[in-house]
Amino acid sequence: MRIPDISFFDTFIKYDRLREKDIERYTKELASGKKLLTPSDNTIDTVRSLRFKRLNNDIETYNRNIDLVKGTLDVAETTLGNIVNTGQEVRVEIIRLMNTGVLDYEDAQILRDYLSSMRDYIINQANVSVGDSRLFGGVKSQIDPFDPTTGVYQGETLETTVPVAKGVELNTTFNGEAYLGVNTNTGKMAMIDAIDEIIAIIDGASASPPTRSLEEINTATINVTVDGKDYGNVTILEAFDIGLSKIMQQRSKIGEQMVIADNLKIQNDTMKVNFSELISKLEDADYAGVIAELEKSKTAYEALLASISQNKDLSLLKFIK
């Protein structure tokens, strides 16, 4: 009596394949550093890992948008700061003019040239761009938001934004009408309205024959409506202050957005690290454990081969002999 060769062979093949499969798997785990080699290894952990990877991809997109937004916000804040600083200098001259008046024609022309250059500078700053995108034109960012000659706003009130976190969006372009204190009655910045009125008075007083009087600088009024609020007829200085105050307010709002962007970047980076650690726990192999399992499988395989070698020629006749 002896074990049939085919049964002996089938048993050998069965355990040979099992040991080889184990050795192959542990070798792949060591080579790749991953314990999830196929989705079927652990369906639940695979789904969890894919979800965390998707969240990390979203965070990477948010962080790229934050880098873009921070550059835009920095340029916008600096621009409004330049306009505010210029406006404060011009305001000093307006107050001096109202208090002392213009002594003669030469003084008037010097003041006119100064105000004209400051006017052009403010409009030029308001037309600032990043690349080929004008920041204060809203979605209409391919043309100057303020006409370089007339100073009239020709941009859009609708702004463009990008997501920087779930449910949070920050500006990449701005509504120049709101951010630069545009007087909707004239379409120009209230500050520019005030400067233009002073220039018109000086030009009228300097004409021959004069059509206006320099004393009108203290009495002239401008009908101002800014950001939906109707201020009615106000003096030149009041109109200038309304526009300047509005720009200062909007500058602080941009500063707040910059703080939000910085805080969200830190938060996103922290979340990305946490998700990466969770992915690692789900996917990464335990090298010490895998090496131990690999050695066990090798030992079992060697024992299998030794057992086959020792028992392949056994038969009842040899036992009796």
Which single residue is written with the structure tokens 């008075």?
201
Q: How far apart are CA 67 and CA 100, in angstroms?
A: 50
Q: How far apart are CA 198 and CA 90, in angstroms?
A: 12
Kindly tell me if the per-residue pLDDT of 320 is higher than 60.
no
Structure-token pair, residue 98: 């109202």
Structure-token pair, residue 264: 């969200």
Q: What is the mean pLDDT of residues 271-281?
A: 80
Q: What is the mean pLDDT of residues 155-180?
A: 92
pTM of the model: 0.75
Per-residue pLDDT, 1: 44
User: Which of 172-210 are b and which e, b meaning 16 or more Cβ less than 10 Å from the residue's Cβ?
Assistant: bbbbbbbbbbbbbebbbbbbbbbbbbbbebbeebbeeee
Which single residue is written with the structure tokens 């020629």?
313
Give φ, ψ of 224 to 5 degrees.
Answer: -120, 130
Taken as a whole, the chain contains a residue count of: 321
Contacting residues for 202 by C-beta, under 8 A, at least 6 apart: 102, 108, 109, 111, 112, 214
Q: How far apart are CA 311 and CA 289, in angstroms?
A: 33
Other CB atoms within 10 A of residue 316 CB: 10
Q: What is the mean pLDDT of residues 54-80?
A: 92
Kindly tell me if the per-residue pLDDT of 319 is higher than 60.
no
CB 153, CB 160: distance < 8 Å: no
Which residues, listed in sequence order, are joined to residue 224 by a DSSP beta bridge?
232
Kindly tell me if the per-residue pLDDT of 288 is higher than 80.
no
Q: What is the mean pLDDT of residues 138-142?
A: 89
Q: Which of 164-178, 197-211, 252-266 has the lowest mean pLDDT?
A: 197-211
Alpha helices by DSSP H, the chain:
5-32, 43-100, 105-126, 176-179, 190-206, 216-219, 236-283, 287-311, 316-320
If you write DSSP's letter for every residue of 9-20 in order, what string do you get?
HHHHHHHHHHHH
107-116, long-range: CB < 8 A, 24+ apart: 108/202, 108/205, 108/206, 108/214, 109/202, 109/206, 111/202, 112/199, 112/202, 112/203, 112/206, 115/90, 115/195, 115/198, 115/199, 116/199
Per-residue pLDDT, 191: 96
Kindly tell me if the per-residue pLDDT of 187 is higher than 90.
yes
Per-residue pLDDT, 195: 95
CA neighbor of 91 nearest in space, from 238, 224, 199, 230 = 238
Q: How far apart are CA 52 and CA 71, in angstroms?
A: 29
Kindly tell me if the per-residue pLDDT of 127 is higher than 80.
yes
Q: What is the mean pLDDT of residues 23-52?
A: 69
